[in-house]
Amino acid sequence: MEDRFFVGSFRGNFVGYINHDPDGSFTCFDSTSRPRGEFTSLESAMGSLNNLYLSDSIKGEPNDGGH
């Protein structure tokens, strides 16, 4: 992996990824590489990625692992 690229997973399922942009912001992408938001900190971007994954799982939609 690159220094400015963070991959998210939950229990072995790919959740999405976060890119640390040259301007210092963090862009969050879902498991289909759609941008889902821009954040000022890595922690905020990670929280958004977690919330996105958990909200999809709670709605009964398939999560990134197809469950």
Q: Where in the chain are the domains?
A: 5-58
pLDDT band at residue 9 using 50, 70 and 90 as cut-offs: confident
Contact residues for 35 (Cβ-Cβ < 8 A; gap 6+): 27, 28, 29
Distance CA 57, CA 60 (A): 5
Say whether 8 sits in a helix, a strand or coil: strand
Locus of tokens 């862009």 = 27
pLDDT, one tens digit per residue, over 24-64 is: 999 999 989 999 999 999 999 999 998 887 776 655 554 44
Give the pLDDT score at 43: 95
Map tokens 């009964």 to a residue.
60
Report which of residues 20 and 60 the model is more confident about.
20
Between 50 and 65, name the one with better pLDDT. 50
User: How would DSSP label each residue in 25-52?
Assistant: -EEEEETTS-EEEEESSHHHHHHHHHHH
